[in-house]
Structures are given as structure tokens and as C-alpha cells.
Structure 1
Amino acid sequence: MKSKLIHEAHGQRSFVVVLATDDEIQDCLGRFATEQKLSAAQVSAIGAFRRATLRFFDWQTKAYQPIQVEEQVEVRLD
């Protein structure tokens, strides 16, 4: 994982974070948040996954239901 601060103003910072092939996104972003002492964040992302587990909240069961994706997919998160 690489990161760079690209903008800072009025107490807000913007970073670019680039993950390497086979980096685990949750681990990397968690470590980044800890290192930067983030207490709140907004995330926008674009990239690809080889495999992923997506989850949605099922209001009837009050639990997150997993959806396994086992193929190369492009992802955009706004």
C-alpha cells in the first residue's frame, strides 16, 4: 500500500491510497486510518478485485447476508 496527502485545508485532508495486487482492502484501510489518526472519513474508490465478499443488511433477519464474487470485477465506490 502506498499513500500520499494531496490536499489539506480547514482541518480536512485528502489522500490518495494505492493498494498493491493481493493487498487486503479492509486491513490496508484500517491500518491507514490508524496511522493517520482518522476519526471520520469519506471514501471514494475505483479499482478491481479478483474475489470479494459483498454484504447487504437484511431487515427481516437483522443480519448481514454475504454475496461471494469469485471473478475479476471492476469496482467504483462513491
Structure 2
Amino acid sequence: MRHKLLAGDTGGRCVILALDTGEEAFNDISNFAMKEGVPVAAIMAIGAFRAATLTFFEFDTRNGKRIPVEVQSEELA
């Protein structure tokens, strides 16, 4: 994973992360945040995944429903 600070003024930071093929997005982003002391963040992303697991939160049951996606997909958030 590579990262670069884009802006660091007004008490906040804007960092771009680029993950390499085969890296685990959730774990690597979480580890980066812990290492850099980021307690709260907004994440915007453009990317592609070979496979992913989405979680849909069901308010009625207060549980997350895991949805495996086993095809290559693009992501924009």
C-alpha cells in the first residue's frame, strides 16, 4: 500500500491510499488509521475488487446481513 498526504490544514488531513493487487482493503485501511492515529474518518473510494463481502444492516433485527460478491466488481463510494 502506498499513501500520500494531499492536505493537512484546518485541523484535518486528506490522505490518498493506493492498495496493491491482493491486499485486503478493510484490514489495510484499518491498520493505516491505527498507525496514523486517525480516530474518525470519512472514506471516499474508487476501485475494483476481485471478490468482496458487503454487509447490509437490517434495522428491524439490528444485525448485519453478509452478502458475498464473487465476481470482479468496480466500486464508487
TM bin, normalised by shorter chain, reads over 0.9
Deviation at 1:39, TM superposition (A): 1.2
Secondary structure in structure 2 of the residue aligned to 1:31: helix
Of Structure 1 and Structure 2, which has the larger fraction of its residues in strand? 1
Deviation at 1:56, TM superposition (A): 0.6
Task: Extract unaligned runs of 5+ from structure 2.
Answer: none
Q: Work out the number of aligned pairs and report it.
A: 77
TM-score when normalising by structure 2: 0.94
2:3 aligned residue = 3
Secondary structure in structure 1 of the residue aligned to 2:14: strand
CA distance in 1 between counterparts of 2:27 and 2:68 reads 19
Q: Which amino acid aligns with 1:44?
A: M
TM-score when normalising by structure 1: 0.93
1:48 aligned residue = 48
Task: Extract unaligned runs of 5+ from structure 1.
Answer: none
Q: Which amino acid aligns with 2:10?
A: H
2:62 aligned residue = 62
2:71 aligned residue = 71
